[in-house]
Amino acid sequence: MASLAERHQALLRWAEAAGGRLHPAVEIYHDEVTKGSFRVKEAGVLGLDEEIVSLPLSCSLSFLNAIAGHPSIPTTLPTTISAPPDETYFSTEFLSNVPPHVIGRFFLMQEYLGRENSPWWPYIRTLPPPEHMTRMLPVVWPTGDVEFLRGTNAYVAVQEIRSTLKREYKQAMKFLPERFQYEYTRPLYHWAYCIFTTRSFRPSLIVPEAESLSLPCKIDDFSILLPLFDIGNHSPLAEIAWVTDKDSRTCTLRSCQPYSAGQQVYNNYGMKTNAELLLGYGFILPESEDFHNDYVHIKTKATPAANHLDASHIVALRPFSHPSSVVGRSRLLDPEHLSCLPFFSHFQDSLVTALHESITRHGDEGSNASLTEIMQGRIRQGLLEEIIDSLGTKLTIDLEEIETHDPPYEATNQNQELALLYRGQCKKVLDHAIASLSNVRP
């Protein structure tokens, strides 16, 4: 059986044969931590504004491939978007009644089941196999491992995602022949979900002139897999650019910073908190003096249409004005004005203003206070105290919820160790924020 390094080399050759390219100074590096990453070769250097990796869209895999050339789904997709091999289309009924993001996962399942007969097999064989997916994301962790998250917002999100996946799979299978149930299993659907969640990209950032494709959905109603391109690991501090050439329809990852020999070359998945990274990628970033990624998500009201951590506000380990709170500042309504009362320094400004709005509305007390006035406490004293009390009550309840469900035994595997690390950081965030409310009063 070929090693992962050998499979990655085969993937590189496959991508190059299609017109893809990896910078000659960059290699696919293997170690026990990353399993696979981009690194500068020992004798190499990657300069400013250089191409790290490029990939033609003909190598991509997504919902678009499931409908490309379909006789009953009229589109104006470019010929570079490959149709299913041997026109093995899903039925029109399936394609017309199942959401695009679910169809994309079923298409990946189809190609996985096709193995060597799939044009994407050189890519698929480099992916974590279904039998190893219980180490990928909390949503597919064994129940005993998920219990280590109980009490945190991540635990609630896992239950929501599991419920959604169960509903999606059940609905999709209604439109497939009964024989599909023996191969297109629920565990395989969970695997496809994990692959797309951890590796995919937003089409609107990748596909040129998306508005001209005559799609039966919005361009970001699904996501897209980019083989080879997706090997780059995440750093929120990485300065990169994604560029797609309209003529060649080639997507390129460019470095906006130099790298020296032996350094890992990063992609940037966006400004995501550790809660979002844990749920979506299966890892968290450690705290350091120069950077932290520890934030607790707070919802001010139930939003049935919101998924997981959407429509939430964040509470930060350190003040938003601290240089290490990079991700937090990206979420502020007004990141240019960080001046606020000390006891609001750990709270996203949208959370404070949402509480202000809620209190004044329910109290029949109109207020035209600006964001700056609210954050600096230039509002009625009683109203300010009510906002502070609401924050303190909410955070105390959340902290007690985590502490009440602390696991009664030590971690025995990597999933549980990761969960303990995450819940420990959640406690730390809440402790610091509560202390800021307790130590300073208006």
pLDDT digits (tens, 9 = 90+) for 372-430: 999 998 999 999 999 999 999 999 999 999 999 999 999 999 999 999 999 999 999 99
Domain boundary among 205, 235, 265: 265
Give the CATH number, domain containing residue 25. Answer: 2.170.270.10
Does residue 71 share a domain with residue 53? Answer: no
Q: Is residue 273, in this structure, part of any structural domain at all?
A: no
Residue 115 falls in which region: left (phi positive, over 0), alpha (psi -120 to 50) or beta = left
Decide if pLDDT at 147 tops 90.
yes
Does residue 185 share a domain with residue 127? Answer: yes
Decide if pLDDT at 304 tops 50.
no
Q: Is residue 271, in this structure, part of any structural domain at all?
A: no
Does residue 339 share a domain with residue 237? Answer: no
Beta strands in 15-118 (DSSP E): 21-22, 26-29, 37-40, 50-56, 61-62
Confidence (pLDDT) at 42: 93
292: which residues sit within 8 A by CB, 6+ positions away?
A: 316, 317, 318, 324, 325
Decide if pLDDT at 180 tops 60.
yes
- The identity of residue 162, as a single letter, is R
Instruction: Round the average pLDDT of the chain to a whole number and report it.
Output: 91
Confidence (pLDDT) at 32: 78
Give the CATH number, domain containing residue 77. Answer: 3.90.1410.10
Confidence (pLDDT) at 301: 64
Band of pLDDT at residue 311, cut at 50, 70 and 90: low
Does residue 318 share a domain with residue 180? Answer: no
Does residue 180 share a domain with residue 311? Answer: no
Confidence (pLDDT) at 33: 76
Does residue 431 share a domain with residue 297? Answer: yes
Beta strands in 137-261 (DSSP E): 224-225, 240-245, 250-255
Q: Could you tell me whether strands 37-40 and 26-29 are parallel, antiparallel, or unpaired per DSSP bridges?
A: antiparallel
Confidence (pLDDT) at 364: 59
Q: Reading across the β-sheet that carries 21-22, which strands appear in turn?
A: 21-22, 50-56, 250-255, 240-245
Q: Is residue 234, in this structure, part of any structural domain at all?
A: yes
Query: pLDDT tens-digit profile of 347-367?
Result: 999 999 999 988 888 765 556
Confidence (pLDDT) at 1: 74
Select the more confidently predicted residue: 249 or 309.
Answer: 249
Q: Is residue 278, in this structure, part of any structural domain at all?
A: no
- The identity of residue 333, as a single letter, is L
Does residue 375 share a domain with residue 363? Answer: yes
Q: Is residue 276, in this structure, part of any structural domain at all?
A: no
Which candidate, 31, 21, 29, places its Cα nearest to that of 264? 29
Band of pLDDT at residue 79, cut at 50, 70 and 90: confident
d(CA 72, CA 161): 32
d(CA 223, CA 132): 23
Domain boundary among 225, 249, 274: 225
Confidence (pLDDT) at 275: 97
Which candidate, 18, 227, 206, places its Cα nearest to that of 108? 227
Q: Tokens 């990946």 belong to which residue?
A: 108
284: which residues sit within 8 A by CB, 6+ positions away?
A: 274, 277, 278, 293, 418, 421, 422, 425
Decide if pLDDT at 103 tops 90.
yes
DSSP H/E element including 313: strand 313-316
Tell me how many domains the chain contains. Answer: 3
Select the more confidently predicted residue: 343 or 150.
Answer: 150
Does residue 244 share a domain with residue 311? Answer: no
Does residue 110 share a domain with residue 48? Answer: no
Query: pLDDT tens-digit profile of 2-51?
Result: 898 999 999 999 999 999 999 999 999 988 777 789 999 998 999 999 99
What pTM does this model have?
0.93
Confidence (pLDDT) at 244: 87
Query: pLDDT tens-digit profile of 221-244?
Result: 999 999 999 999 999 999 999 888
Confidence (pLDDT) at 22: 96
Q: Is residue 74, in this structure, part of any structural domain at all?
A: yes
Can you tell me whether residue 121 is helix, strand or coil?
Answer: helix
**DSSP-assigned beta bridge partners for residue 254:** 51, 241
Does residue 289 share a domain with residue 159? Answer: no
Decide if pLDDT at 104 tops 70.
yes
182: which residues sit within 8 A by CB, 6+ positions away?
A: none
Q: Is residue 253, in this structure, part of any structural domain at all?
A: yes
Q: Is residue 301, in this structure, part of any structural domain at all?
A: yes
Does residue 218 share a domain with residue 104? Answer: yes
Residue 26: give the domain boundaries: 4-58+227-265
Does residue 191 share a domain with residue 290? Answer: no
Give the lowest-confidence range in 108-117, 170-179, 261-270, 304-313: 304-313
For residue 350 the two structure tokens come to 């949208």
